[in-house]
Amino acid sequence: MPVETRVITVTGKEDCGIVDITEMVSEEVKNSKIRNGTVTVFCIGSTGAISTMEFESNLSKDISEMLEELIPLNKDYHHHKTWGDYNGGSHLRSFLVGPSLTVPFIEKELTLGTWQQIVYINFDRIEKVRKIVLQIIGDF
């Protein structure tokens, strides 16, 4: 029965580092034996997130500024008392954007729009190497 798991490793810069992972996801789907189905893109860890956007540097700046306005990183969060790692804002952003995205594919092609890329975002205050699970489910 057709389930194929792939794990990709992605490095995201600190404080809203956005990485276009569309090609990596697309490649893994193409290299699988599954023709039609869904790929669930799941970020392991609670200070990162997955979504889609038009991946271009100006919009990346806008996303960073929007999140800084809504959920500032430099704020005295309660969470800082727990571990002293000062990444409360990183956690809040991750919670809100979410760690999981499920994308359909048809004949091995992801059903993305032309200006729609799959992105991983690192919200932590330090650069992070992160594992992202791709769970590919469907039929041959």
Question: What is the pairing mode between strands 17-20 and 36-43?
Answer: unpaired
Residue 99 sits in the site that holds its own copies (CB under 8 A): yes
Residue 94 sits in the site that holds its own copies (CB under 8 A): yes
- What are the strands, taking DSSP E only, across 1-140? 3-12, 17-20, 36-43, 48-53, 100-106, 109-110, 117-122, 128-139
Bridge partner list, 20? 119
| Position among 24, 37, 123, 124 found at the interface with its own copies (CB under 8 A) | 37
One DSSP character per residue, 91-128 reads: HHHHHHH-SEEEEEEETTEE---TT-EEEEEE-SSS-E
3-state SS class at 134: strand
| Position among 11, 27, 31, 104 found at the interface with its own copies (CB under 8 A) | 104
| Position among 74, 81, 84, 129 found at the interface with its own copies (CB under 8 A) | 81
Q: What are phi and psi of 108, to 5 degrees?
A: 70, 5
| Position among 88, 122, 123, 128 found at the interface with its own copies (CB under 8 A) | 88
| Position among 23, 27, 54, 109 found at the interface with its own copies (CB under 8 A) | 54
Compute the least distance from the CB of residue 116 to its own copies, in Å.
Answer: 4
Question: Which residues make up the interface to its own copies (CB under 8 A)?
Answer: 1-3, 5, 36-38, 40, 42, 44-46, 51-54, 56, 58-59, 61-63, 65-66, 70-71, 77-82, 88, 91-92, 94-104, 106, 111-113, 115-116, 133, 135, 137-140
